[in-house]
Amino acid sequence: TQLLEQSPQFLSIQEGENLTVYCNSSSVFSSLQWYRQEPGEGPVLLVTVVTGGEVKKLKRLTFQFGDARKDSSLHITAAQPGDTGLYLCAGVPSPDKVIFGPGTSLSVIP
């Protein structure tokens, strides 16, 4: 069974602070995805990382895929209240299926 773990589970920070969220698995995935879900809405895909060691940047968000393709991190610089939401990492074992981690609930306080 392929499982994903995320840490921390909950995070509350002040506007302007930096933060890192981690996603770990004992399994190798061909790719990992990060989604953000705002309250009352469906998850929205932020990024897909495919190559071990890959780093992708999306404005203030930096995503990294571990060299062994078992882990990933999401770093947010100068967090803003609009970053508040549930951040989900998802492993992609096959084209028609994703496995979600438990999520990190982020609250950015103005």
Partner 1 sequence: DAMVIQNPRYQVTQFGKPVTLSCSQTLNHNVMYWYQQKSSQAPKLLFHYYDKDFNNEADTPDNFQSRRPNTSFCFLDIRSPGLGDAAMYLCATSGGYEQYFGPGTRLTVT
- Note whether 98 binds partner 1 by CB under 8 A: yes
- Note whether 91 binds partner 1 by CB under 8 A: no
Exposed, middle or buried by CB within 10 Å (0-12, 13-18, 19+), for 22? middle
Q: Taking phi first (over 0 means left), then psi (-120 to 50 degrees means alpha), and beta for anything else, what does residue 53 get?
A: left
Residue 104 is which amino acid? T
Q: Which stretch binds partner 1 (CB under 8 A): 14-22, 57-65, 75-83, 84-92?
A: 84-92
For the CA atoms of 34, 37, 38, 39, the dihedral, rounded to the nearest 10 degrees, stands at: -150
Measured from the CB atom, the residue of 30 and 77 that comes closer to partner 1 is: 30
Nearest approach, Cβ of residue 35 and partner 1 (Å): 8
- Note whether 66 binds partner 1 by CB under 8 A: no
Q: Which residues bind partner 1 (CB under 8 A)?
A: 31, 33, 40-45, 48, 86, 88, 92, 95-98, 100-103, 105
